[in-house]
Structure 1
Amino acid sequence: MRRSRRHRGSPRARLAVLTVTAALLATGGALEASTAQGAPAPSTRRAAGADDGARVVGRHWLDERTVDLTVRSPAVGADVPVRVLLPVSYAEAPERERPVLYLLHGAHDDYTSWTRETDVEEFLAGQDVITVMPSAGPTGIPTDWWNFGRRTPDYETFQVDEVRGLLRDEFHAGPRRAVAGVSTGGYGALALAARRPGAFAAAASYSGILDTSAPGMTSVVDAIIAREGRLPATLWGSPLLQRADWTAHNPYRLAARLKGTRLYVSQGSGIPNDDFGNLDGAILEGTLWWQAQGFVRHLTDLGVPVRAHLYRGGTHAWSAWRGEFEASWPTLAAGLGLGTD
């Protein structure tokens, strides 16, 4: 799954990595509804709103298979963008129930990253699955923010509950789901699967933060939040005073709850082998290397099966993640009922 041109990463993505790297060294409006020509006509569509009050307030078709939805989310308290990618088979059988694949973006990026940086449109064209790329905000952390006890914005409820209902209403999506993500989206894939056992049949993380209590990880998380102009404590509170909240959102601490979920975990060592100019990404990837190894060992100790690819080389960049998605596809497809791994 390779694009014809080489992607070096957007300037804001590279600045984000530099910000996190510096911290490590120091510490150790709605889219208007529109339809593009050639977009599939909606099936016998039910009301465009989930049972929890979320509703679609905008649709913008990019082509006959790709639509950007604007969702008015009670959980987030704002209008949130969501990209949906339909399979080729959808046009002929829109009423057929299909499983759903979530693709989660990383920090300081957005819901367009997967279609911008990879060839998922072509790769998934022949798979009978609805692919959804929901926003998790600029930090890319799909969680319910502590926010001094206000518990908002709540991107966990948005992604797991509200998006599910809207996909059912808009595209006749079925209940079977899998989730995969890069960087903070990789955190989200494992955290959501662990916090909501049974919600996802498979989960994959590519260079994710999988143990927020591991050495250096608090600094990484704090730098991500600060980069977006927010107080780090607004995420899950103080690691000491709100320790229970940090524990309740840590995939490592919730690992036993992943039993029964098909898992794929990949992580590079941070020694560049294909992108020698990305030194900052190499440092960040190397920092994440040790906590990923510990997470995989912890799963093994708990008797939780996992397919792991902890590889030498690679940086914190799409140049590595594109291939990892393709390698994880058998695991995700098996969870979606599309094949076996």
Structure 2
Amino acid sequence: MRSARRLRSTRSRQWIGRWALGITVALLAPLAVSLSDSGGRVAAAPNPRGFDFVVDSPEMGPIRSRIFRAKDGNTNRVVYALDGMRAPETHSGWEFDTNVADALTDWNINVVMPIGGMSSFYADWNAPSSFFGAPPTGSSSGSGALNVISEGPGKSFRYAWETFINQHLRWALRDRLGFNPNRNGVFGLSMGGSGALTLAAYHPDQFSFAGSYSGYLNISAPGMREAIRMAMIDAGGYNVDSMAPPWGPQWLRMDPFVFAPMLRDHNTRLWISAGSGLPAPADGFDGNTVNGMALEALALANTRSFQLRMMSLGANNVTYSFPAAGIHSWTYWEAEVHRMIPDLSANIG
């Protein structure tokens, strides 16, 4: 009995230690948000296989997406690719920093890349972003705390991304391109990872598959709201309180840890991934690598927490991928998509 008690005590201490580490990382990660989810964006030309597709949102105005048609011309198999925290109005990182559009279309999957939504979490916000009711003024560079008073998307109007993707974009794709509006896939990185799971949980007829890479999947954990607050200030100057009041129903509705039973009950096929936070030799070792390590450690703590939650629910609809090396960078997210594609292909359309 003493031996069993000692074992339980040791395991408890180990769990508390891991949890404390996760909290510590959550509190320190805002010091590294200068990288956020950019992973070193580079200037690149648009992929010639894609074309622009503009759909009006009653709340947000015209929203542009990039569409990549399946190689075999089918309209039945569709996946949405969601960007990260710094999602600009000009392009998706998935197009400019990876080759996933080509890889997916070669697997005869149509790809939809919504453009924009910086710091939005692809959610329907409570109000336009503002601090102390001050109206925005000036332009936004997309980085830095001075952007709290700058103009930008989601400041002169209310973000309504969930509604846009589920209603306006979905049906426009069906009516104008003939795309199947049901049993689609959706995946995203970082902010887009939790956004993808939220869309799948609340719209199971639209999404039969969801993937999260380096996502923040336990946003109600101690320290997480303040970590997100600081990251959103740095990524465009957005106020998390405008998105959802603290710890209320709207905030909890966005938390994958909270709505995990819905994903199990819908039998949504999930691909959940995060890197170890350790760099590979090709990453080098500089400030960007250190930032990427800290951010990925936070994402890993969140993702492991979500894994334990799903395991406690007896969910068997999830594939977990935890590579031995991986920081918060497009290189690793691109590689993860390639690993995921066979599972995605088998569970959409």
TM-score bracket relative to the smaller structure: 0.7 to 0.9
- Give 3-state SS (helix, strand or coil) of 2:258's partner: coil
Residues of 2 paired with 1:168 and 1:250: CA distance? 29
Shift of 1:20: 5.4
Shift of 1:296: 0.6
Residues of 2 paired with 1:219 and 1:311: CA distance? 28
Indicate whether 1:142 and 2:122 are aligned.
yes
- Counterpart of 1:37 in structure 2 is none
- Counterpart of 2:249 in structure 1 is 244
Read off the aligned partner of 1:134 and give its amino acid letter: P
Alignment check: 8 A CA contact 1:21 1:280 kept: no
TM-score, L = length of structure 2: 0.73
- Pick one of 53, 60, 66 that aligns with 1:77: 60
Residues of 1 paired with 2:244 and 2:120: CA distance? 15
Indicate whether 1:303 and 2:310 are aligned.
no
- Counterpart of 2:174 in structure 1 is 168
- Counterpart of 1:184 in structure 2 is 191
- Give 3-state SS (helix, strand or coil) of 2:85's partner: coil
Indicate whether 1:106 and 2:84 are aligned.
yes
Residues of 2 paired with 1:253 and 1:136: CA distance? 27
Read off the aligned partner of 1:100 and give its amino acid letter: V
Shift of 1:270: 1.1
Q: Which has the higher helix share?
A: 2
- Counterpart of 1:232 in structure 2 is 240
**Whose relative contact order is higher, 1 or 2, with alpha carbons under 8 Å and at least 6 apart?**
2
- Give 3-state SS (helix, strand or coil) of 2:106's partner: coil
Shift of 1:197: 2.9
Alignment check: 8 A CA contact 1:201 1:335 kept: yes
Residues of 2 paired with 1:300 and 1:106: CA distance? 27
Alignment check: 8 A CA contact 1:148 1:237 kept: no
Alignment check: 8 A CA contact 1:62 1:68 kept: no
Alignment check: 8 A CA contact 1:143 1:156 kept: yes
- Counterpart of 1:67 in structure 2 is 51
Residues of 2 paired with 1:284 and 1:308: CA distance? 19
Deviates more, 1:310-319 or 1:171-180: 310-319
Shift of 1:68: 1.3
Read off the aligned partner of 1:169 and give its amino acid letter: D
How many residues are paired up? 273
- Give 3-state SS (helix, strand or coil) of 1:253's partner: helix
Deviates more, 1:317-326 or 1:265-274: 265-274
Query: 1:172-226: per-residue Cα shift (whole Å, max 9, x none)?
Result: 1012200111111111111111122332111110001111112332123212322
Alignment check: 8 A CA contact 1:100 1:173 kept: yes
Shift of 1:105: 0.4
Indicate whether 1:130 and 2:110 are aligned.
yes
- Give 3-state SS (helix, strand or coil) of 1:222's partner: helix
- Counterpart of 1:56 in structure 2 is none
- Counterpart of 2:331 in structure 1 is 319
